[in-house]
């Protein structure tokens, strides 16, 4: 998923924090498919309809929704805390990597919540955390990826923690050991990490996340991870030294609007824009999985669906620790 913050500092804080969040445990027991089958049977189809409409209006809803879901689960567990807005801006969505979360995706989730709340008998029944999980599933299938059922039954968090955001998300310069350590702390394997990174097939990133890589790259010095020189030149055109703060590039230059396995094929040709992407092929420990996913889209899709299910179980709130918000941007 989107690596949006440089550096690997604060890993000690991360370990302590993960002990607090948890990676599933007893919370998994409350999650199941078709959770709203009797209480709000049209919830999933309504969310899909709203997300589809917004995706047609702005493709940013696709990668933006996936990034929202990933960031939400990694920061405080899958509890929609990323959606909470503080009047003074002192919230998760305005901190570190979360400050670049897609406003189009946020709006789509809020509209989906409003549409579900308006369904007969559904007011106060469906959590924002579940709507975000549904929407993440929907943007994958709507852009050509696999269709799959999603476990539901999450509660919404009652608070947020802006201070930890920069410590618990992968950075664009992470190496394989840093990536594996971070994902393992959330109960995810190296294969899960590589599969989830495949979401970059419809991803975008701002210039500030890779400009150092493209302007300090020296082929003759054997820079690791490597970069295709034609690709390097094209990225320098996209992001000149005096780039605009809003300038961005697609993470998959082959099929940027299709959820497919092209991302992995690009890595084989050293066209990984972020160092944390290209390292997946450069490092011999992860290269076999990249080669498998590049050659077999079904293998990638199956691994991605399995990893998304595990991601969706991180830090699920239960009992008095959570609630079902009336609106996603504020606690009840």
CB-based contact 165:155 (threshold 8 Å): no
6 as an active site residue: the answer is: no
77 is in an annotated binding site: yes
Burial tier of 258 (Cβ tally within 10 Å: 0-12, 13-18, 19+): middle
CB 155 within 8 A of CB 322: yes
Has 117 been labeled as part of a binding site?
no
Three-class secondary structure of residue 121 per DSSP: coil
The active-site residue, picked from 71, 94, 167, 206, is: 71
- Element housing 248 (H / E): strand 248-250
Buried b (16+ CB within 10 A) or exposed e, 151-178: bbbbbbbbebbbebbbbbbbbbbbbbeb
Determine if residue 254 is labeled as part of a ligand binding site. no
Alpha carbon distance 304, 98 (integer Å): 23
- Is 149 marked within a binding site? no
Determine if residue 255 is labeled as part of a ligand binding site. yes
Q: Is 282 annotated as a binding residue?
A: no
Alpha carbons 113 and 326: distance in angstroms, whole number: 8
Cα–Cα dist 253/239, whole Å: 14
Alpha carbon 96 to its chain centroid, in Å, reads 15
143 assigned binding-site residue: no
* SS3 category, 174: coil
Q: Is 201 annotated as a binding residue?
A: yes
**Exposed/middle/buried for residue 86 (C-beta within 10 Å: 0-12, 13-18, 19+):** middle
91 is in an annotated binding site: no
* Residues contacting residue 82 through CB under 8 Å, at least 6 positions apart: 68, 71, 72, 75, 92, 93, 98, 101, 160
Residue 283 labelled as part of a binding site: no
To the question of whether residue 90 is assigned a binding role by annotation, the answer is no
Structure tokens at 92: 């998760």
81 known member of a binding site: yes
Contact (CB, 8 A) for 4 and 97: yes
State the Cα–Cα distance between residues 321 and 304, nearest whole angstrom: 29
Residues marked as catalytic: 71
Which residues belong to the annotated binding site for substrate? 170
Which residues belong to the annotated binding site for Ca(2+)? 72, 75, 77, 79, 81, 92, 201, 252, 255, 260
Which residues belong to the annotated binding site? 72, 75, 77, 79, 81, 92, 170, 200-201, 252, 255, 260
């Amino acid at each position: 998923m989107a690596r949006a913050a440089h550096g690997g500092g604060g890993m000690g804080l991360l370990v302590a924090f993960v002990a607090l969040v948890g990676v599933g445990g007893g919370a998994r027991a409350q999650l199941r498919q078709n959770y709203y089958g009797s209480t709000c049977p049209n919830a999933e189809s309504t969310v899909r309809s709203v997300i589809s409409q917004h995706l047609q209006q702005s493709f940013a809803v696709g990668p933006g929704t996936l990034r929202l879901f990933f960031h939400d689960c990694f920061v405080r567990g899958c509890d929609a805390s990323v959606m909470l807005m503080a009047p003074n801006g002192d919230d998760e969505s305005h901190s570190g990597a979360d400050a670049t979360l897609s406003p189009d995706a946020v709006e789509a989730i809020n509209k989906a919540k409003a549409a579900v709340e308006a369904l007969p008998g559904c007011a106060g029944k469906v959590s924002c955390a579940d709507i975000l999980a549904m929407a993440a599933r929907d943007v994958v299938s709507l852009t050509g990826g696999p269709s799959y059922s999603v476990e539901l039954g999450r509660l919404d968090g009652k608070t947020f923690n802006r201070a930890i955001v920069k410590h618990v998300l992968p950075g664009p310069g992470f190496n394989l050991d840093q990536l594996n350590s971070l994902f393992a702390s959330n109960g995810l394997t190296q294969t899960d990490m590589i599969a989830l990174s495949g979401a970059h097939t419809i991803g975008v990133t701002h210039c500030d996340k890779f400009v150092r890589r493209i302007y300090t790259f020296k082929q003759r010095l054997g820079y690791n991870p490597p970069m295709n020189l034609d690709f390097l030149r094209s990225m320098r055109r996209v992001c000149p030294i005096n780039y605009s703060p809003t300038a961005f590039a697609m993470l998959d230059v082959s099929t940027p609007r299709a959820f497919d396995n092209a991302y992995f094929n690009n890595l084989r040709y050293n066209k990984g824009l972020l160092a944390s992407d290209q390292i997946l092929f450069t490092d011999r420990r992860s290269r076999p999985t990249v080669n498998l996913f590049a050659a077999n889209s079904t293998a990638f899709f199956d691994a991605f669906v399995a990893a998304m299910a595990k991601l969706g179980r991180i830090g699920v709130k239960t009992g008095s620790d959570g609630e079902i918000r009336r609106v996603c941007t504020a606690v009840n």
